[in-house]
Amino acid sequence: MNNQTDIQQESEIHLRDYYRVIKKRKIIVLTFALVTFAVVLLGTLAQTPLYEASVRVLIERNYDAEVMGQGYMPYDPEFYGTQFNIIQSRNVVGRVVDKLKLDTVYRNYFLEKEQTSLLHPVKTWLKGIGSFFVSGQPAEENGSADVLAALIVPASDAELITKIIQEELAAKPVIKTKIVEITYRHENPALAQLVVDNIAKAYMDEMLEIKMNASNYAIEWMTIKADEEKKKLASSENVLQRYTREHDVVTVENKMTIIPQRLNEFASQLSKAQAEMRDLNDLQQQIRNAGDDYASLEAIPVFSANKALQTLRDDLLKAEQQISELSKKYGPKHPLMMKAESERALLIKEKQHEIRRIERFTKVDYQIAQSKAANLSALLEETKQDLLNLKERFIQYDILKREVDTNRILYDALITRIKQQGASAQNQTVNIWVVKKADLPIDPASPRTKRNMLLALVLGVFGGTGMAFFVEYLDNTVKSPDDIERRIGLPILGVIAQPDQKDQDINTITRDNPKSLMAESYRSLRSQVLLSSAEKPPQTILVCSVAPKEGKTTTAANFARTLAESENSVLIIDCDLRKPRLHKVFNQSNALGLSNYLTGSSEVAPIIEVEGEAIHILASGPIPPNPSELLASGRMKKLLAEMALRYDFIVIDSPPVMSVTDSQILSKMADGTLLVTRFGQTTWDQIQHGVKLFTDIKAHVLGVVLNGVVKGQEGGYYYQGYYSYYGDDDHSSNQ
């Protein structure tokens, strides 16, 4: 609940701040609003009333159902935009101008109005300015421009009227329909109605003429192209026919089907022959490796598989078995043994002879296989070459044939398109119907006075408010006590208002007009200063400002008078040894003063008692060359210590803290420092820098005095009751 209350209070404070800014800058808001309203009002009243007539036209794209298919509606987002431009085009408007004779019968309604309008001199002036920037000379002094102008044919009345109508002619779609609303504005309502009705008719005529011209041009162009394609077709057919005779393309086609088969057969035979040759070559290598070793030769498959050798081996085996059996019975010299040995030797010889024969046949077979492979390879290459030659001729034939086919297709397509174009020449690609003719307008369409005034009022108020906040944003000066306490961290001890009367002397306001708001502000400052310390109020009080002309001397003088009102002994010292002004405020001489005492010229401080007031003043005296050194001397400290014993309060007027270091030196000797700022003059940068200077030396700053606050601009709630209270009292006293 508390959080909600805090948020609500914060929001209320923000709204109050906004109201304060608007109230403070109300002159800017009102001025901007009035100027805006006046400009719009004058502009509205200066405009000539225009009457708007409108005609509604149904515009529909005509699609061929046979070509597109039933229910097919292609997407064409540029269609209506194109139609709007055609409606507003020079051709359509020119048709209306010619038909209605606007350049002769109704010329006064267009050209004379244009020349006598308020904008005509402005346009002429702008034209001269444009000529100057283009050529560097005024239009009447530019000789080259005159030569160029002589070459340019001036626009006719019809062309000028066409441009004028185009400026006020508009076309817009009716939402969620295919209907287009064509509008035209003119000073004469009857003429506006007449023109816009004829615009619709001229648009229909223009679309039909566009279609007819396009169809005629297309047919003419396609006829010329058809003649060209016909010649190309005849030429390409002749070339194809001649090539067919010269290269016997019919035979080529037959060969193209046979040769690939032969090529496959030759390739297969060559592969077999090469494989056989490799096998025989390997066999020859084995035979050579065996040499005269018949046993190794017989191990070779070609020998071992030979039937003659197998028979001889069987016979030799039988002979050896017979010899083995006879050797068991007979000796080697036995006739049977000798006969058996003789038969075995004969068989061995026959076997060797057979082996050599097989070896010779193997060599012959290898040579035959080698020759066969070579012949097949040559035959295959020859066949390949024939095939390549045939393909080249056939490719050239295909090229010529494709050219003939292409030319024939183009020629046939053009002939077909010419027939179609001729048949559809009378068909409209866009269907146009006038669904509502223009009515005679009664009330003017522009200017809309009430709307313009309302917009001007809203724009003026909001624009002025925005400008007020912008000016407020650019204003970096101190304007609120709350802002000072929040941003600087120092309490506000006093808010001094501006005097009600401009000729009133603010230096003596507490003495001359003690019931005024300004005098009460100083009494409030006195109370705040006396209550600023818990144990006892500060006795020695330094009054300084951030920058010059912020009212520190006035504040010091009036503050001292308010202290004296409570029957306190008060001494005010002018420590501004550079630009002293305190002696003028109290109307005293400055011949002797603080500088005389600090330099040793006077052993006793020349204190003056102000006549009629319980205040003593120590003026600054003659301006010395070294003020900072004198104020930092021991005599200054001694003076303050002695005066503290004699007076209840000592008020010190010092130079601005940002100008010199005098205030920083004196702040270390004083019990407290009052920092005077001026409403709407002291910037935040200045006051923050001034506070930092005192903070760096750890001076005791009692608080800030906001001086020169304008009534109603000090935050709104500090002195509202006091204003009314003292205002009534002053009013009664004046009476």
What does the pLDDT look like over 472-511, one tens digit per residue?
Answer: 778 778 877 877 888 888 888 888 887 766 767 787 788 8
Work out the number of other CB atoms within 10 angstroms of the CB of residue 472: 17
Lowest mean pLDDT among 20-29, 495-504, 662-671: 495-504
Say what the pLDDT of residue 568 is: 87
Say what the pLDDT of residue 198 is: 92
Q: Cα angle at 692 between 688 and 695, to 5 degrees? A: 140
How far apart, in whole angstroms, are the C-alpha atoms of residue 657 and residue 673? 11
Tell which wins on pLDDT, 569 or 404.
569
Q: Is 71 left (phi over 0), alpha (psi -120 to 50) or beta?
A: left
Q: Are 236 and 400 in contact (CB under 8 A)?
A: yes
- Per-residue confidence at 646, pLDDT binned at 50, 70, 90? very high
Q: Average pLDDT in the 327-339 region?
A: 79
Q: Average pLDDT in the 443-450 region?
A: 83
Residue 298 has pLDDT above 80, yes or no: no
For 729, the enclosing helix (H) or strand (E) is: helix 720-734
- Per-residue confidence at 182, pLDDT binned at 50, 70, 90? very high
First to last CA, the chain: 53
With H, G, I as helix, E, B as strand and everything else as coil, classify residue 349.
helix
Residue 420 has pLDDT above 70, yes or no: no
Q: Average pLDDT in the 311-320 region?
A: 78
- Per-residue confidence at 734, pLDDT binned at 50, 70, 90? very low
Say what the pLDDT of residue 673 is: 92
Phi, psi of 22 (to 5 degrees): -65, -40
Lowest mean pLDDT among 3-7, 50-54, 298-302, 316-320: 3-7
Strand-pairing partners, residue 495, are: 706
Whether omega for the bond prior to residue 447 falls within 30 degrees of 0, making it cis, is yes
Residue 60 has pLDDT above 60, yes or no: yes
Q: Are 179 and 57 in contact (CB under 8 A)?
A: yes
Say what the pLDDT of residue 714 is: 46
With H, G, I as helix, E, B as strand and everything else as coil, classify residue 220.
helix
How far apart, in whole angstroms, are the C-alpha atoms of residue 560 and residue 509? 12
Say what the pLDDT of residue 543 is: 93
Mean pLDDT of the chain: 78
Say what the pLDDT of residue 140 is: 47
- Per-residue confidence at 256, pLDDT binned at 50, 70, 90? low
Query: Which residue shows structure tokens 């009378």?
Result: 426
Say what the pLDDT of residue 654 is: 92
Residue 650 has pLDDT above 90, yes or no: yes
Q: How far is CA 362 from CA 77, 200, 298, 350, 365, in A?
A: 90, 108, 14, 18, 5
- pLDDT tens-place string over residues 560-615: 999 988 888 999 999 998 899 988 888 888 889 999 999 888 888 899 988 878 89
Q: Average pLDDT in the 634-659 region?
A: 91
Say what the pLDDT of residue 183 is: 93
Q: Average pLDDT in the 93-106 region?
A: 88
Say what the pLDDT of residue 34 is: 92
Q: Would you state the structure tokens that stand for residue 126, as one six-digit string?
A: 């702008």
How far apart, in whole angstroms, are the C-alpha atoms of residue 391 and residue 658? 106
Say what the pLDDT of residue 251 is: 59
Say what the pLDDT of residue 223 is: 79
All structural domains of the chain: 16-47+447-474 (no CATH), 104-155 (no CATH), 249-424 (1.10.287), 481-502+510-734 (3.40.50.300)
How far apart, in whole angstroms, are the C-alpha atoms of residue 574 and residue 544? 11
Q: Average pLDDT in the 617-628 region?
A: 90
- Per-residue confidence at 716, pLDDT binned at 50, 70, 90? very low
Instruction: Transcribe 129-171 into DSSP letters.
Output: HHHHHHHSS-GGG-HHHHHHHHHSPPPPHHHHHHHHHHHHEEE
Residue 180 has pLDDT above 60, yes or no: yes
- Per-residue confidence at 733, pLDDT binned at 50, 70, 90? very low
Residue 155 has pLDDT above 90, yes or no: no
Strand-pairing partners, residue 542, are: 652, 673
pTM of the predicted structure, to 2 decimals:
0.49
Work out the number of other CB atoms within 10 angstroms of the CB of residue 162: 24
- pLDDT tens-place string over residues 524-567: 888 888 887 777 889 999 999 988 888 889 999 999 999 988 88
Say what the pLDDT of residue 35 is: 92
Instruction: Please give, one letter per residue, the 3-state secondary structure of 35-63.
Output: HHHHHHHHHHHHCCCEEEEEEEEEEEECC
Q: Could you tell me how far CA 667 lies from the centroid of its own chain?
A: 57
Q: Average pLDDT in the 419-433 region?
A: 65
Residue 64 has pLDDT above 50, yes or no: yes
- pLDDT tens-place string over residues 263-296: 677 778 778 877 877 877 777 777 777 777 776 7
For the chain, percent of residues with pLDDT exceeding 70: 81
Query: Which residue shows structure tokens 């609940």?
Result: 1
Query: Which residue shows structure tokens 């086919």?
Result: 405
Q: Average pLDDT in the 357-364 region?
A: 78
Residue 337 has pLDDT above 60, yes or no: yes
Say what the pLDDT of residue 347 is: 78
Say what the pLDDT of residue 68 is: 45
Lowest mean pLDDT among 78-92, 168-182, 382-396, 430-444: 382-396
Say what the pLDDT of residue 619 is: 92
Residue 515 has pLDDT above 60, yes or no: yes
Contacts of 373 (CB under 8 A, 6+ apart): 270, 273, 274, 276, 277
Q: Cα angle at 380 between 375 and 385, to 5 degrees? A: 130
Angle between the N-to-C axes of helices 249-290 and 189-246, in degrees from 0 to 180, rounded to the nearest 10: 60
Residue 649 has pLDDT above 90, yes or no: yes
Say what the pLDDT of residue 409 is: 86
Say what the pLDDT of residue 487 is: 82
Instruction: Please give, one letter per residue, the 3-state secondary structure of 166-192.
Output: HHHEEEEECCCCCEEEEEEEECCHHHH
Phi, psi of 72 (to 5 degrees): -90, 130
Say what the pLDDT of residue 65 is: 45
